[in-house]
């Protein structure tokens, strides 16, 4: 353990990037609460990672569910990681009703989990010193339909959050991953051709790993990062430069 154990909440902490984030904090002795809709997945992750990890099953897109589970969240939150999200809905055919439904779905599952969880936990954030880190996407800077648009909404929302929390000594930042392999996001392992294509899009010649994103989150959550707020930090191996 390094220093004093912190209370960390990681949404989507049962799989992929969120799991790696939870593992990183737990390995340094922090108390980690992981959230997701599937209780069994969360339980399995908590058991296999070991450490001080507590699963809470909740659909973070549903305000009433967030309110119902509030008493299972820790009373004090030093680090909140808004990582839950899902792949965008393909451009639908079938008229405007289908278009509206697809956009609503992407908003509900990528923006609302961060907004609702943060609003619910605001009173419990450590002041000063609390940290909010949200996981965005390269798609927000490059396009990609409704998914890119809703991930861009997180960047705009983070500005407001940083403005609200700054006077209390709490920072709010976004980590913006490029392609990350080894998660459930794409619903299965990529083909070798797809992996190769993704690797060639980077400057460092490899795909992103959940641990790469966890390292960026750990930095922004650290006491040393207390002068950085309202920012986003790319982690994409050079797939997109300097924005």
Ligand X SMILES: NC(=O)c1ccc[n+]([C@@H]2O[C@H](COP(=O)([O-])OP(=O)(O)OC[C@H]3O[C@@H](n4cnc5c(N)ncnc54)[C@H](OP(=O)(O)O)[C@@H]3O)[C@@H](O)[C@H]2O)c1
Catalytic residues: 147
Residue ranges of alpha helices (H) inside 166-227 are 192-200, 210-221
64-83 residues near ligand X, rule: CB under 6 A? 83
**Binder to ligand X among 55, 130, 148, 177 (CB under 6 A)?**
177
**Least distance between ligand X and beta carbon 228 (Å):** 20
| By CB under 6 A, residue 61 contacts ligand X | yes
Residue 44: φ, ψ to 5°:
-60, -40
The two tokens of residue 125 are 């954030």
d(CA 14, CA 202): 27
Sorted by sequence, the CB contacts under 8 Å of residue 71 that are 6+ apart come out as none
**Binder to ligand X among 8, 10, 14, 116 (CB under 6 A)?**
14
Core vs surface per residue 5-24: b (16+ CB within 10 A) or e? ebbbbbbbbbbbbbbbbbbb
Q: If DSSP states are collapsed to H, E and C, what string results for 126-149?
A: CCCCCEEEEECCCHHHHCCHHHHH
| By CB under 6 A, residue 135 contacts ligand X | yes
**Least distance between ligand X and beta carbon 54 (Å):** 15
| From 10-18, 22-30, 96-104, 120-128, span contacting ligand X (CB under 6 A) | 10-18
**Which residue number, 89 or 183, has a Cβ lying nearer to ligand X?**
183
| From 34-42, 46-54, 161-169, 218-226, span contacting ligand X (CB under 6 A) | 34-42
| From 30-38, 99-107, 121-129, 156-164, span contacting ligand X (CB under 6 A) | 30-38
Distances (CA, A) of 172 to 25, 60, 83, 115: 18, 19, 13, 12
Query: In the complex, which residues of this chain contact ligand X (CB under 6 A)?
Result: 11-12, 14-18, 35-38, 41, 59-61, 83-86, 109, 113, 135, 137, 177, 179-180, 183-185
């Amino acid at each position: 353990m390094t220093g004093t154990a912190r209370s960390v909440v990681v949404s989507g902490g049962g799989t992929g990037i969120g799991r790696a984030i939870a593992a990183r904090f737990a390995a340094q002795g922090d108390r980690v609460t992981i959230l997701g809709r599937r209780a069994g997945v969360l339980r399995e992750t908590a058991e296999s990672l070991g450490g001080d990890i507590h699963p809470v099953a909740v659909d973070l897109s549903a305000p009433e569910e967030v309110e119902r589970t509030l008493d299972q969240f820790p009373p004090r939150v030093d680090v909140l990681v808004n990582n839950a999200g899902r792949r965008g809905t393909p451009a639908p055919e079938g008229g405007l009703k289908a278009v509206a439904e697809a956009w609503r779905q992407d908003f509900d599952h990528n923006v609302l989990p961060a907004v609702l969880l943060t609003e619910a936990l605001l009173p419990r954030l450590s002041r000063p010193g609390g940290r909010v880190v949200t996981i965005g996407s390269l798609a927000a800077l490059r396009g990609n339909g409704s998914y890119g648009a809703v991930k861009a909404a997180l960047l705009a929302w983070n500005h407001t959050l940083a403005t609200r929390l700054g006077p209390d000594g709490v920072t709010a930042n976004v980590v913006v991953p490029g392609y990350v392999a080894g998660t459930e996001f794409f619903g299965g392992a990529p083909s070798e051709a797809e992996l190769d294509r993704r690797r060639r899009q980077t400057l460092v010649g490899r795909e992103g790993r959940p641990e790469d994103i966890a390292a960026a989150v750990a930095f922004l959550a650290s006491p040393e990062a207390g002068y950085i707020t309202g920012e986003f930090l790319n982690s994409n191996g050079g797939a997109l430069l300097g924005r």
